[in-house]
């Protein structure tokens, strides 16, 4: 029998605000333990939490970026459970009236488009951090409440995903969109994005859903993809072996690349949600929401599609250029000056990206880089005024110091020499100095021409036009 998988994702992103969701404590990462805390976030009796307006603001923007409807009326609820990282013994979350509902993202998979529904987006507070004492016989865990009350948005997808690859693409679009609208850094390694996957299988063609397992503990999108892949294989094997699939939470083990059941002793999840009496309801300001909607930038996946349609870029290029908004905006600036779309894309993905990676910089940190100079550089190479090699050599100065590539070409005398008579003397010199190579060439070992051309390039300090040099050798030998 053939099986298909049904996958739903729950993504938590940290909304990037200066202070926590219900108190003035800082959200700064890396402060000493238990110093970003106050009576409100530690759940002391008698305190009054007040919603941070910026959390609501960013949650609404996130909802809009994911094509959600923003709720006209929304409220917070208490989700009750006991765990040492939760000082109040309840988490303030949203239950039946979340801030945003009914969104979707379109993903492109092997040339066809698939719509993935987003059930809801709600606001909630993060829990604290537990550090477990190491070693056999250890009896204690240590609690740091700095993260307690850090604002999160939980984004729940419909079970519309059918393959690990679809889940991977969905996550990338979700992340890129939330980064474009600047509500979250979405950095999985730093914990500002977490993803749990609900996975089940069913025989192909069957409507009812199978029993699902919730898979947690993945620390990258690739890990999410692998964990889902493993989980599908495990469930299919279990069914074929006539084992019963149980509803449970499973942890991804990145070293062994398997999921392991969390056989916890916890009782049935019964969170007994009820409205949070200390926080008043939120009624949407329709005008404000419409303004926010109008201010949304062109979304990265839409932009990528436009790059493919308008600029005829391959999908890989379009995806890469649009994954960082500031890179995409720079690209768009550049092509205003020069319409060789693919060449500009190559230079941005090549020289510029390499430079940024090497120096661990963001493009916004390059205060002297201008699109005018960058395009001038591309044009100089493209039109053959300087060689590609010279172009690469001066690229760093253009990118970092903002020098005018035309000026530096003059100053350094980098102009490519294409005039045959000028190059001819060097070619003759090289022929005279390398009788052995010349002999080999004449015997039919034509590959030595590369070596000879290299010698000419060296003598001309890289300025000789390699094509002209090549031609001259062929004529002379």
Partner 1 sequence: MAITKDDVKYVSTLARIQMNDKELEAFTGQLDTILEYMKKLNELNTDKVKPSSNILDVKNVQRQDELNTPSLTNKEALAEGPDTEGEFFKVPKVID
Q: Which positions touch partner 1 (CB under 8 A)?
A: 17-19, 23-26, 32-39, 42, 44, 50-56, 75, 80, 82-84, 97, 130-133, 138-145, 267, 270, 272, 275, 277, 279-283, 285
For partner 1, which is the closer residue by CB, 140 or 421?
Answer: 140
State which residue, 84 or 350, has the beta carbon closest to Zn ion.
Answer: 84
- Shortest distance (Å) from residue 213 CB to partner 1: 19
Rounded to the nearest whole angstrom, what is the least distance from the CB of residue 52 to Zn ion in the complex? Answer: 11
Contacts for 201 with CB less than 8 Å, ≥ 6 apart: 3, 4, 5, 6, 210, 232, 235, 236, 239
CA atoms within 13 A of residue 296's CA, in its CB half-sphere:
23
Q: Which of residues 34-63 bind Zn ion (CB under 5 A)?
A: 38, 40-41
Q: Select the binding partner of residue 139 from partner 1, Zn ion, none (C-beta < 5 to 8 A, by kind).
A: partner 1
At closest approach, how far in Å is the CB of 282 from partner 1?
6
- For residue 431, what is the DSSP state? H
Distance CA 243, CA 139 (A): 36
Closest to partner 1 by CB, 97 or 334? 97
133 interface partner picked from partner 1, Zn ion, none, CB below 5 to 8 A per type:
partner 1
Question: Which H or E run includes 130?
Answer: strand 129-132
CB of 302 to Zn ion, least distance (A): 39
Q: Mapping DSSP to helix (H, G, I), strand (E, B) and coil, where does residue 3 land?
A: strand
Nearer to Zn ion, 144 or 319 (CB): 144
Say which entry of Zn ion, partner 1, none residue 464 contacts (CB below 5 to 8 A, set by partner kind).
none
**Shorter beta-carbon distance to Zn ion: residue 38 or 236:** 38
Which residue, 226 or 250, is less far from partner 1 as judged by CB? 250
Question: What are the φ and ψ backbone dihedral angles of 73, each rounded to 5 degrees?
Answer: -140, 130
> How many whole angstroms from its chain centre is CA 470?
44
Phi, psi of 200 (to 5 degrees): -145, 165
Least CB distance to partner 1 at residue 123 (A): 12
Task: Output the CA angle 120-125-127, nearest 5 degrees.
Answer: 125
Note whether 181 and 297 are within 8 A (CB).
yes
Total of residues contacting Zn ion (CB under 5 A): 5
- Shortest spacing between CB 131 and partner 1, in angstroms: 7
Contact partner at residue 215 from partner 1, Zn ion, none, CB < 5 to 8 Å by partner kind: none
Out of Zn ion, partner 1, none, what residue 115 binds, judged by CB under 5 to 8 A for its kind, is none
Smallest distance from the beta carbon of 246 to partner 1, in angstroms? 20
211 secondary structure, DSSP code: -
Residue whose CB is less far from partner 1, 37 or 375: 37
Binding partner of residue 175 among Zn ion, partner 1, none, CB cut-off 5 to 8 Å per kind: none
Please say which residue, 53 or 242, places its beta carbon nearer to partner 1. Answer: 53
Instruction: Count CB atoms within 10 A of the CB of residue 330.
Output: 22
Contact assessment for residue 178 and residue 21, using Cβ atoms and an 8 Å cutoff: no
* Angle, alpha carbons 217-222-225 (nearest 5°): 80
DSSP state of 112: E
Residue of 9, 7, 120, 108 lying closest to 67 (CA atoms): 120
Q: What does the per-residue mask of binding to Zn ion show for 6-35, with x meaning CB under 5 A?
A: -----------------x-x----------
Spatial distance between the Cα atoms of 323 and 328, rounded to a whole number of angstroms: 8
């Amino acid at each position: 029998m053939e099986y298909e998988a049904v996958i739903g994702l729950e993504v938590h992103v940290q909304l990037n605000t200066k202070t926590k969701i219900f108190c003035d404590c800082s959200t700064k990462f890396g402060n000493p333990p238990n110093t970003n805390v106050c009576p409100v976030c530690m759940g002391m009796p008698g305190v009054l939490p007040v919603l941070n307006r910026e959390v609501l603001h960013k949650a609404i923007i996130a909802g809009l970026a994911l094509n959600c409807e923003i709720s006209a009326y929304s409220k917070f609820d208490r989700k009750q459970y006991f765990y040492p990282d939760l000082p109040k013994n309840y988490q303030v979350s949203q239950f039946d009236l979340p801030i945003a509902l009914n969104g979707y993202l379109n993903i492109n998979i092997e040339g066809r488009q698939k719509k993935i529904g987003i059930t809801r987006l709600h606001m909630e507070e993060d829990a604290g951090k537990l550090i477990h004492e190491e070693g056999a016989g250890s009896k204690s865990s240590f609690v740091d409440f700095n993260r307690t009350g850090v604002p999160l948005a939980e984004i729940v997808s419909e079970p519309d995903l059918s393959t690990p690859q679809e889940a991977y693409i969905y996550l990338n679009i979700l992340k890129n969109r939330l980064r474009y609208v600047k509500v979250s850094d979405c950095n999985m390694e730093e914990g500002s994005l977490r993803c749990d996957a609900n996975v089940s299988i069913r025989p192909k063609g069957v409507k009812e859903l199978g029993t699902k397992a919730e898979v947690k503990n993945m620390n990258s999108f690739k890990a999410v993809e692998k964990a889902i892949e493993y989980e599908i294989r495990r469930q299919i094997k279990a069914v074929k072996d006539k084992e019963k699939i149980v509803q449970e939470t499973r942890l991804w083990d990145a070293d062994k690349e398997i999921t392991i059941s969390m056989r916890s002793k916890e009782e049935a999840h019964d969170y007994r949600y009820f409205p949070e009496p200390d926080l008043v309801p939120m009624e949407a300001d329709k005008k404000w929401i419409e303004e926010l909607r109008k201010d949304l930038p062109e979304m990265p996946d839409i932009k990528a599609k436009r790059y493919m349609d308008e600029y005829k870029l391959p999908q890989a290029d379009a995806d890469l250029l649009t994954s960082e908004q500031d890179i995409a905006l720079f690209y768009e600036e550049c092509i205003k000056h020069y319409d060789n779309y693919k060449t500009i894309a190559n230079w941005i993905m090549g020289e510029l990206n390499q430079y940024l990676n090497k120096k661990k910089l963001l493009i916004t940190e390059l205060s002297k880089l201008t699109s005018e100079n960058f395009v001038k550089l591309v044009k100089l190479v493209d039109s053959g005024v300087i060689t590609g090699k010279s172009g690469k050599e001066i690229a760093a100065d253009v990118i970092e110091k903002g020098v005018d590539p035309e000026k530096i070409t003059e100053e350094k005398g980098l102009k490519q020499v294409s005039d045959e008579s000028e190059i001819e003397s060097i070619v003759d010199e090289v022929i005279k100095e390398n009788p052995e190579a010349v002999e080999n060439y004449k015997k039919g070992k034509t590959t030595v021409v590369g070596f000879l051309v290299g010698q000419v390039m060296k003598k001309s300090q890289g300025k000789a036009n390699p094509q002209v040099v090549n031609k001259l050798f062929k004529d002379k030998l």
